[in-house]
Amino acid sequence: MERTARDAIIRRLEFARTELADLEAFADLDFSRYTSDRVVRRNVERMIENIVNSLSDIGKIILAQTDIEMPDSYRGIFEKLGSRGLIEAGLATRLADATRLRNILAHQYLDIKWKHIETFLAQGRSDALAFLERIEEWMAGQDAGSH
């Protein structure tokens, strides 16, 4: 793997882990607080968006490094990673679904946003961590193969 690609992945891994750690403070967020506290709502929405974007960026870098054709959507990034066996198929599907959150956060009403945020808080955080761990394993294998 190219050094610049490796460094770019590492930066995004660290950023995603920081955002996930910050999001942990909102693990028990409920609809009432989400709708009544604008600061909490903005912070949670932004953290989730940052996490999904980071994971997507990592996926794009990996696809570029493995000469796999680049899909034309964020959803497609995770689908490709799953279909090529770089991540587990179920995880790929859930992360592909999480990419919908980017549009939902920008364009939907609070009650619709909340359903997706609640799902992300319940499952998405652990999926994101599983993805990060899998990418770290993949990178270690790439490093071992280059020596």
For residue 66, the enclosing domain spans 3-145
Give the CATH number, domain containing residue 113: 1.20.120.580
Torsions phi, psi of 11, nearest 5? -60, -45
Average pLDDT over residues 41-46: 95
- Asked whether 117 and 25 are in contact (CB, 8 A), the reply is no
Mean pLDDT of the chain: 92
- Asked whether 23 and 125 are in contact (CB, 8 A), the reply is yes
CA angle 126, 130, 135 (to 5 degrees): 150
Calculate helix-pair angle for 38-65, 110-119, nearest 10 degrees: 60
The predicted structure's pLDDT at residue 39: 97
* Percent above pLDDT 90 for the chain: 78
The predicted structure's pLDDT at residue 66: 86
> How many structural domains does the chain have?
1
Q: Which helix (H) or strand (E) holds 131?
A: helix 125-145
Q: Is the pLDDT reported for residue 145 higher than 70?
A: no
Which tens digit of pLDDT belongs to each residue from 51-90?
Answer: 999 999 999 999 998 888 899 999 999 999 999 999 999 9
- Asked whether 48 and 120 are in contact (CB, 8 A), the reply is yes
Label residue 67 left, alpha or beta by phi (over 0 means left) and psi (-120 to 50 means alpha): left
Which tens digit of pLDDT belongs to each residue from 114-126?
Answer: 989 999 999 999 9
